[in-house]
A and B are shown apart, each in its own frame.
Chain A
Amino acid sequence: EVVLTQSPGTLSLSPGDRATLSCRASQSVNNNLLLWYQQKPGQAPRLLMYDVFTRMSGTPDRFTGSGSGTDFTLTISSLEPEDFGVYYCQHFDFSLFTFGQGTRLEIK
């Protein structure tokens, strides 16, 4: 089972800053099966990005996914107030879905 490790645990930034969130897999991710979610307090996670870099409808283009192999990054080019929350990466392989432990993006 692939283990996903996200860093940092917490990221404190201001609106307008650039955010870089990391997700590292314990084994190479096949077929770009790496996704990103955003979760706000009291809400379910929301799918932002799939296949590493494909944005869901409604995901602003300030969000960019990148990476390959075992190292993946979600970059938010210029933070908006609504971007703060917890971000999770997720992998699918051998019929199993696994999540990282999350990065909390908070307002500085």
Chain B
Amino acid sequence: GAVVSQHPSRVICKSGTSVKIECRSLDFQATTMFWYRQFPKQSLMLMATSNEGSKATYEQGVEKDKFLINHASLTLSTLTVTSAHPEDSSFYICSARQKGGRTNTEAFFGQGTRLTVV
């Protein structure tokens, strides 16, 4: 299947700093990328959806000024956690869908980023 690369896999940052997480589709063009947050032993919680070249659509309750999403190209989306606090510590996962046709295609997931804010 298609490959989605997420970087970094782990990051520790100090409270108040910003952290950027990258999500790349390596062998396909991703029209749409999704960002999820996952708490321990819980399901994936969709944070936002980003379409290449347009503003991201955030889910209810997600602070768009805190979680900045940029989808500048068909192969790259970034999530920046601004002014991180310990409560932002979590596992963040991106997902990408291939471009093409009228039908939605398979969603492929990155390997996730474990963010720890100290």
- The answer to whether A and B interact is no
Interface residues of B (CB under 8 A from A): none
